[in-house]
A and B are shown apart, each in its own frame.
Chain A
Amino acid sequence: MGIEKALRLVKDLPRVALNNIKNSPMDQKKPHNLRRGWGKNKTHGRGHKGQGQRMTLPKLGFETGHKPFYLRVPQEYYYEGHHLKRQYPPLSLLRLQRMIDMGCLDPNEVIDISSICMTGHYHLHVDRRHYGINLTEEGAEKFSTPICIEVQWASEMTIATIERLGGVIMTRFYDPLSLIALQDPETYFKTGKPIPKCKLPPTDAVEYYSDPKFRGYLADPEKIAEERVALSQKYGYDLPDLSESDKLSLLLKRKDPRQIFFGLHPGWIVNLTEKKILKPKAEYLQEYYHS
């Protein structure tokens, strides 16, 4: 709708020239204040005597002679941009096995970021640039349950341990607004906001999530199957045939790239007290959420 309007404007309006341009109101320079108005006589806003009146104040940052803070503390360039970088707090395979042993996680259902956060043993803070789970290799030799798990970062060894046991691992990107809903679904539903549509990963993450080696959700499934075989040969284990397993329907469960929760579509509002789901009918909303 807005795109058509903009194109019509570009076609109909005259050429940009000096007679139809104006600076923004913020651009106006304020004239130097000579302090000659009413009430500004005598000292002209400068007080009495001293450095303040006599224009001999020291430079900004000066600390009466000793080495000032801005010269004392060295610059550390390795910190540059650290506040903008994505972080994936680690979760070890040992911890995951412990959660399954204690009954916090059900291996007969897909293990999702929300199911791990709901155990209470793993915390995500989206305001601290946490973008998901990093499944580490610690405890790989003790891990022994076939599971279907969806994480945000996994190394080769973790992928190998899970696939050796007949499980499935996928790496999947969620943007921060979706993560707010995922890490605590109940409080998110209580806010009354619609289920968000998950955005695609940023340019520096697209490579990882479309790489079949890391089982990315944007990768070609045929190439993922090839990589499974290659990894089994690299680590020296027999790749179990998943089509023969009991849990085939579970292992094949996948989410749409725009979907956050299993079985629930973006745009829906959940009513917990009346146990209902409200689905919008307006066309523009359907267009947006299905794009």
Chain B
Amino acid sequence: MELIGGILQARYCSSQNENPTEQQHEYEESTEEFKYVEKLLNNKMIPTPPQHAEYPTPSGWYPQTEEASKLPYFVHRNKFHNMPVYLLKKGPLERTKILKVDGDIQLFCEDLKNYLSMKYPSKIHYTHINEINNKVLVRGDHVGEVVEFLKEKGF
């Protein structure tokens, strides 16, 4: 086995690493195809939604209207241009959270409660106002109804 091992070493040693040629490290540079790379780079900012012919869009999105700015209160959209209405769920506890409410929050809550009472007349709708952070909490899971209410107002 040793003799055969010696023959192996002489005839079958790997020659690539022993004699590296310059040809293996050659490369050529080009800038022509870099335009394809630019398409693959990340967007740094969230894109603004394009103008559509009619609203709502096929997936159900609609932008804010100008009528909304005339009201005594205003609800901004979030950075993804969506409604700032979220559901807080901690076991059986459910709260509908509405963020970014400017202006007269008390009046906003009264209008919201009237709207919800029309849909659910037998229930009392409790709301909690956070005036410092412009937040409103509504007791119960009413995310769909709140979004419809905001849509009616034009937010």
Contacts and interface: CB of A to CB of B under 8 A. Distances in A.
Interface of A: 1, 5, 8-9, 13-14, 20, 22, 94, 97-98, 100-104, 109, 114, 118, 139, 142-145, 184-186, 189, 261-264, 268-270, 272, 275-284
Contacts of A100: 59
A22 B58 contact: no
Q: Chain B interface mostly helix, strand, loop or mixed?
A: loop
17 contacts: A8-B12, A94-B59, A97-B57, A101-B58, A101-B61, A103-B48, A104-B47, A118-B40, A139-B59, A142-B58, A144-B58, A189-B40, A261-B36, A263-B33, A270-B34, A272-B37, A279-B28
B36 to A, nearest CB: 3
Nearest to B27: A278
Contacts of A185: 37, 40-41
Nearest to A282: B24
B132 interface: no
Contact of B26 (A13, A263, A282): A282
A23 to B, nearest CB: 13
A1 B17 CA distance: 14
Contacts of A280: 26-27
B61 A102 contact: yes
B49 A101 contact: yes
**Interchain residue pairs A-B with the least CB separation, the first 3:** A263-B36, A185-B40, A98-B59
Given A262-B36, A277-B34, A278-B27, A142 B42 contact: no
A103 B47 contact: yes
Interface in B35-68: 35-37, 39-43, 47-50, 52, 57-61
Given A103-B50, A276-B29, A276-B34, 15 more contacts: A1-B16, A5-B12, A8-B12, A97-B58, A101-B52, A102-B49, A104-B47, A118-B43, A261-B40, A272-B37, A276-B30, A277-B29, A277-B30, A277-B37, A279-B28
Contacts of B10: none
B31 interface: yes
Given A263-B36, A282-B24, A275 B59 contact: no
B1 A22 contact: yes
Contacts of A270: 34, 37
Contact of A13 (B4, B34, B41, B42): B4
B60 A142 contact: yes
B31 A276 contact: yes
B27 A279 contact: yes
B37 A282 contact: no
B142 interface: no
A94 B35 CA distance: 31
Contacts of A275: 31, 34
Contacts of A142: 58-60
Contacts of B39: 109, 262
A189 B29 contact: no
A12 to B, nearest CB: 8
B25 A101 contact: no
Contacts of A186: 40-42
Interface centre among A14, A139, A277 (most CB of B within 10 A): A277
A264 B39 CA distance: 11
Nearest to A143: B58
Given A262-B36, A278-B27, A279-B30, A14 B4 contact: yes
A145 B52 CA distance: 13
Given A20-B1, A263-B33, A281 B61 contact: no
B48 A281 contact: no
A66 B34 CA distance: 68
Nearest to A145: B58
